[in-house]
Amino acid sequence: MSTETIPDPGQDRPDRRGAFRLLFFALLAVGAGNTMLVSAILPPLSREIGLPDWMAGAIFSLSATMWAITSSFWGRKSNDWGRRPVAALGMLGFSVSMLLFGTFAALAMAGHIKGAIAIFLCLLFSRTLFGLFGSGTNPAAQAYVADRTRRDQRTEEIASLTSGFSFGAVAGPAFAAAAGAVFGLLTPVFMISAIAAVMSFLIFTRLPEHNPPRREAGLRKGGKREGDGLWRDPRVLPFLLFAISLSIVTGVLTQTFAFAIMDKIDVDGAEAMQFTGPAYTVGAAGTLIAQLVIIPRLKMTNRELMVSGALILSLGAFLIVPTREFAVLVLAQFFVGIGQGLARPGFSSGASLAVGSSLQGNVAGLVISANGMGFIVSPFFGPWMYENVHTAAPFIGAGVMLLMMAAAARKVFPANQVLEDDPDDEGPGLFD
């Protein structure tokens, strides 16, 4: 650990602010690229090239499996290699994945790749690369911020960082709709690939990391490291269970909303993007309001963030069921955006605060892994149920589950989280 004088934690250091801003835009690109494929591009693309709805969802389910498996691995590796190289590698993997996805989709649309199975395997391969390598950016970025913030400021700082991913997640479909309407359906995919490549280069060359993160302790009794089995730790497990549940319901809402728009308003193909785009733009505004206005001003506890986020999300889910009015569907997306914007920083910062500084990479990896686990099964609760059970089933199921999550969070999590004692945690300035 560096022995240099630690700056006043109240100072807003330009190098740290710039580093956080760079990671914010990196996560924004990942969130935008990921969800614009799921909700804005793949639904009309799948119907144009003849992929069944469930098969389109399965592409992301299998990709999410790889994301869930590898996120914790990259979180641990960021302890050893540093946050910067892992974050840069993740962005590079994401860039290559998007490039391949766009190329395979273009070949399928042109008739050079024929048959649903062949198209499915090609698109699956490209998304698997994202699951394997693109999963490194999020845990490394979150651990980077946790390394450099005081514990009493961590909720707000992590909320600010994750607002990049959340904003991208809801703004990505809007961006895809605007760019796709002017330049073609797949143009946004190639644009995001190029942006991700630039972000990877900037992170690797510009992100300051003069001192490495504190590594885990050595082998303990029984040959186990300090972070082994952290997911079972009672301080961390409740946050992970909430994260998994939230990722299931948000996956259902994200993957199914575009199909609902197409069927309720009776539009299809590229025309649907003219409606999904504005709806997701309003959702993006809701996320920004939640994470950049509500959280800093109200200073809500982690439990309050999770409970209120789940309740507002449930309102958005239930609103979709009865209406065929576009304005009401847009309002539903606004509530979905606010709900995600509140709930995600709640469990992310809560898990970070539950452990000491040497385990920030480990816990960040677990949180990001939990975020992806829901997308493994969400296609079966979303597109499959929408197509085979009832068009209202995914939204009613998501709304009920969110109400249960809010009740459980209010009961399980303390009103004011007690910060885990960490005598080695000296706050900002520990790592430059």
pLDDT in tens, 4-53: 333 334 334 556 778 888 999 999 999 888 878 876 787 778 878 888 76
Q: Do the domain assignments include residue 64?
A: yes
List the CATH number of the domain containing 150: 1.20.1250.20
* Confidence category of residue 83, pLDDT binned at 50, 70, 90: very high
Residue 419 scores a pLDDT above 70: no
Q: Where are the beta strands (DSSP E) in 31-72?
A: none
Distance CA 408, CA 403 (A): 9
| Residues whose CB falls within 8 Å of the CB of residue 247, separated by 6 or more in sequence, listed in order | 370, 371, 372, 373, 374, 375, 378
**The two three-digit tokens of residue 273, written as one number:** 């993007």
Residue range 373-415, pLDDT digits in tens: 877 777 777 877 888 889 899 999 999 999 999 999 999 887 7
Furthest-apart CA atoms within the chain: distance in Å: 65
Lowest mean pLDDT, pick from 4-18, 268-282, 313-327: 4-18
Residue 222 scores a pLDDT above 90: no
* Confidence category of residue 344, pLDDT binned at 50, 70, 90: confident
Q: Which of 1 and 58 is assigned the larger pLDDT?
A: 58
pLDDT of residue 273: 67
Q: Do the domain assignments include residue 432?
A: no
Closest CA to 430 of 83, 217, 153, 146: 146
Residue 286 scores a pLDDT above 70: yes
Characterize 374-383 residue by residue with b for buried, 16 or more Cβ atoms within 10 angstroms of its Cβ, and e for exposed.
Answer: bbbbbbbbbb
Residue 421 Cα to chain centre, angstroms: 29
> Considering its fold, how many domains does the chain have in total?
1
Q: Do the domain assignments include residue 372?
A: yes
Distance CA 282, CA 391 (A): 23
Distance CA 306, CA 225 (A): 31
Q: Do the domain assignments include residue 397?
A: yes
pLDDT of residue 177: 73
pLDDT of residue 183: 82
Q: Measured at the alpha carbon of residue 55, what is the angle toward residues 52 and 57, in degrees to the nearest 5?
A: 115
Task: Give the pLDDT mean for 132-156.
Answer: 86
Closest CA to 316 of 396, 386, 260, 384: 396
Q: At what angle do helices 302-320 and 237-265 cross, to 10 degrees?
A: 20
Residue 1 scores a pLDDT above 60: no
Task: Give the pLDDT mean for 154-179.
Answer: 77
Do 103 and 97 touch, CB atoms closer than 8 A?
A: no
pLDDT of residue 397: 93
Do 309 and 346 touch, CB atoms closer than 8 A?
A: yes
| Residues whose CB falls within 8 Å of the CB of residue 301, separated by 6 or more in sequence, listed in order | 415, 416, 417
Residue range 52-79, pLDDT digits in tens: 767 777 787 788 788 888 988 998 888 8
Residue 160 scores a pLDDT above 60: yes
Lowest mean pLDDT, pick from 157-171, 212-226, 232-246: 212-226
Residue 416 scores a pLDDT above 70: no
pLDDT of residue 156: 78
Distance CA 180, CA 196 (A): 18
Q: Do the domain assignments include residue 324?
A: yes
With residues binned 3-state (H G I as helix, E B as strand, rest as coil), the percentages for the chain, rounded to 5, are 80, 0, 20
Q: Do the domain assignments include residue 356?
A: yes
Distance CA 56, CA 65 (A): 15
**The two three-digit tokens of residue 316, written as one number:** 């958005």
What is the domain range of residue 263? 14-210+231-412
* Confidence category of residue 214, pLDDT binned at 50, 70, 90: low
Characterize 251-261 residue by residue with b for buried, 16 or more Cβ atoms within 10 angstroms of its Cβ, and e for exposed.
Answer: bbbbbbbbbbb
* Confidence category of residue 270, pLDDT binned at 50, 70, 90: low
Q: What is the mean pLDDT of the chain?
A: 82
Residue 219 scores a pLDDT above 50: no
**The two three-digit tokens of residue 410, written as one number:** 């209010």
Residue percentage of the chain with pLDDT more than 90: 29
pLDDT of residue 228: 67
pLDDT of residue 224: 56
Q: How many DSSP H helices and E strands does the chain contain?
A: 16, 0
Give the number of other Cβ atoms within 10 Å of residue 321's Cβ.
Answer: 16
Q: Do the domain assignments include residue 220?
A: no
Distance CA 172, CA 177 (A): 9
| Residues whose CB falls within 8 Å of the CB of residue 206, separated by 6 or more in sequence, listed in order | 22
Closest CA to 369 of 259, 182, 237, 188: 237
pLDDT of residue 212: 63
Q: What is the pTM of this model?
A: 0.74
Q: Do the domain assignments include residue 289?
A: yes
